[in-house]
Amino acid sequence: MRGTHTQGRRDVSPTTLAVVALVACAAAVAIGVIRMRDDDEAPARPAVADAGRRPWQLTLDLDPTAGYLVTSGVSDGRRQSLTVQDLAFSGRQDGVYGGEVTAFPPGTLDEGQFSAGERVNGAFYLPGFVFPEHTAGDAKPWRTPAVGRPDPSGLWVVVYADPALATAGAAVDRAGLLRLASAARIGPPRDLRMPVRLGAGLPAGLQLTYVRSPDHQIDRRPSAIGLSAPTRRPTGAGVYAQVPQGLDLTVLIAPRDAEWDRRRATLTGATRSGGLEAWYDEGRRLTVQAERCVVTIEATLPRAELDRLVEQMTIGDCADPDSWIPPLS
pLDDT in tens, 163-181: 888 765 667 999 999 999 9
Interacting residues of 201 by C-beta distance below 8 A, sequence separation 6+: 308, 312
Check residue 164 and give its pLDDT.
85
Least trusted range by pLDDT, from 88-92, 210-214, 253-257, 320-324: 88-92
Of 191, 213, 230, which residue is a domain's last? 191
Question: What is the reported pLDDT for 98?
Answer: 94
| Assigned domain for 236 exists | yes
144 and 202 fall within a common domain: no
Q: Decide if pLDDT at 45 tops 60.
A: no
Residue-range definition of the domain harbouring residue 244: 196-323
Q: Are 68 and 183 in contact (CB under 8 A)?
A: yes
In the predicted model, is pLDDT for residue 21 greater than 70? no
Q: Give the residue-averaged pLDDT of 25-46.
A: 39
Angle at 324 between CA 189 and CA 273, to 5 degrees: 120
Question: What percent of the chain has pLDDT above 70?
Answer: 83
Task: pLDDT band for 51, please (50, 70, 90 cuts).
Answer: low
- Containing H/E element for 250? strand 249-255
Give the model's confidence band at 294: pLDDT under 50 very low, under 70 low, under 90 confident, else very high.
very high
| pLDDT above 50: residue 243 | yes
Neighbours of 209 (CB within 10 A): 24
**How confident is the prediction for the chain on average, in pLDDT?**
85
**Does the structure show a pLDDT above 90 at 270?**
yes
pLDDT at 204 over 90: yes
At residue 33, what are phi and psi to the nearest 5 degrees?
A: -65, -35
Give me the pLDDT at residue 15, please: 42
Residues 122, 235: one domain?
no
Please compute the mean of the pLDDT values over residues 250-278 and round it to a whole number. 96
Q: Is residue 45 part of a domain?
A: no
Number of domains in the chain: 2
Kindly state whether residues 186 and 276 are assigned to the same domain.
Answer: no
The pLDDT > 90 percentage for the chain reads 72
d(CA 220, CA 216): 5
**Which one, of 16, 170, 10, lies nearest residue 99 by Cα?**
170
Q: How confident is the model at residue 44 (pLDDT cuts 50, 70, 90)?
A: very low
Segment 95-112 mean pLDDT: 93
Whether residues 186 and 257 fall in one domain: no
Per the confidence metrics, is the pTM higher than 0.75? yes
φ, ψ for residue 168, nearest 5 deg? -50, 125
- Identify whether residues 176 and 293 lie together within a single domain: no
Cα–Cα distance for residue pair 105/235, rounded to 1 Å = 12
What residues pair up with 213 in beta bridges, in sequence order?
73
Taking Cα atoms as reference points, which of 215, 210, 294 lies closest to residue 249? Answer: 210
pLDDT score for 216:
65
Query: Domain for residue 295, yes or no?
Result: yes
Pair (307, 242) in one structural domain: yes
* 93 has a pLDDT exceeding 80: no
In this model, does residue 71 exceed pLDDT 80? Answer: yes
Residue 271 located in a structural domain? yes
Contact indicator for 76, 235 with CB cutoff of 8 Å: yes
pLDDT(118) > 90 = yes
Query: Do 171 and 61 belong together in one domain?
Result: yes
pLDDT over threshold 80, residue 90: no
Rounded Cα–Cα distance for residues 72 and 69 (Å): 9
- Residues of 268-303 as b/e, b for ≥16 C-beta within 10 angstroms? eeeeebbebebbbeeeebbbbbbeebbbbbbbebee
Whether residue 31 has pLDDT greater than 90: no
Question: Is 231 contained in some domain?
Answer: yes
Beta strands at 57-62 and 68-76: parallel, antiparallel or unpaired: unpaired
pLDDT (0 to 100) of residue 289: 98
Domain boundary, last residue among 147, 168, 191: 191
Give the model's pLDDT for residue 32: 39
Least trusted range by pLDDT, from 53-62, 159-168, 313-322: 159-168
Looking at the chain, the number of H-run helices and the number of E-run strands are: 4, 18
Picking from 246, 199, 196, the residue whose alpha carbon sits closest to that of residue 224 is 196
Residue 328 lies in a domain: no
- What is the per-residue pLDDT for 20? 35
210 and 315 both lie in a single domain? yes
Does residue 113 form part of some domain? yes
Do 310 and 209 lie in a common domain? yes
pLDDT > 80? residue 182 = yes
Give the per-residue pLDDT at 50.
59
CA 111 to chain centre: 16
Residue 39 has pLDDT above 60, yes or no: no
- The last residue of one of the domains, among 156, 191, 226, is 191
Query: Would you say the C-alpha torsion 19, 24, 25, 27 has a positive or negative sign?
Result: positive
